[in-house]
Amino acid sequence: MRFSQPSMLILMGFFLVLIGFLLPFLMVLGVFQASFWLSFLSHAASISGLFLGTIGAAMIAVHRRK
């Protein structure tokens, strides 16, 4: 399976956004100690996931118009 397929991009984006949600949630619960790098990783995963999901959705929209 190639990583440039729209469904794969959306799936990867979903898991990155999920990681971006779970890491801060676990930091608030006290499972992980909050640090700058963990917060930065969480934010970067969330933004990357949104970006990949948007690109995947746009690729599906372009493909369906043809």
How do residues 9-49 score in pLDDT, each as one tens digit?
999 999 999 999 999 999 999 999 999 999 999 999 999 99
pTM recorded for the entire structure:
0.86
Of residues 1, 4, 2, 19, the one with CA closest to residue 55: 4
pLDDT at 49: 97
pLDDT at 12: 95
More confident residue, 45 or 66: 45
Distance of alpha carbon 31 from alpha carbon 46, whole angstroms: 19
